[in-house]
Structure 1
């Protein structure tokens, strides 16, 4: 499951990471990060993998849990 735009924004906030920092770390453009966060386009798989890899060293993406009435989320990973 690829994270939603709000999950990506939340992950960056939890990690205190700017769009430019995520762009540099993932190897994609800051404009692509903007498009992902606004859900303006469906990213290609290579972009998905690059962004997820850059963020998953510090956060975990949580799937929705309809039984508990929760949507998708993100949490910090213990270091």
Structure 2
């Protein structure tokens, strides 16, 4: 969801996070990844404006940060 929210394809997210496209595909299939790999992907998405919302009874999620005017 986060990748689509910022309008990125798999290749762009891979490039921005410094991992392979196969790693992004593995993440999206729900396969287990190293913590450092997940952090690199998360950091790239957060830099693009994604906010990760923790589990709150309705499930974890993402949203885009509001732009400051």
TM-score above 0.5: yes
Confirm whether residue 77 of structure 1 aligns to residue 65 of structure 2.
Answer: yes
Gaps of at least 5 residues in structure 2 are none
Gaps of at least 5 residues in structure 1 are 1-9
How far 1:19 moved relative to its partner?
A: 0.5
How far 1:34 moved relative to its partner?
A: 0.4
What are the within-5 Å matches in structure 2 for residues 58-69 of structure 1?
58-66=49-57
What are the within-5 Å matches in structure 2 for residues 18-57 of structure 1?
18-40=9-31, 42-57=32-47
How far 1:39 moved relative to its partner?
A: 0.8
Structure 1 Cα separation of the partners of residues 3 and 35 of structure 2: 20
Residue by residue over 1:18-71, the C-alpha shift from the partner in whole angstroms, topping out at 9 and shown as x without a partner, is: 00000000000000000001112x1112201110100012110111112xxx11
Greater fraction helix: 1
Where 1:13 maps in the other structure, the secondary structure is helix
Give RMSD over aligned pairs: 0.9
Kindly report structure 1 stretches of 4+ aligned residues shifted beyond 2 Å: none
Name the TM-score, length of structure 2 as normaliser: 0.89
How far 1:73 moved relative to its partner?
A: 0.7
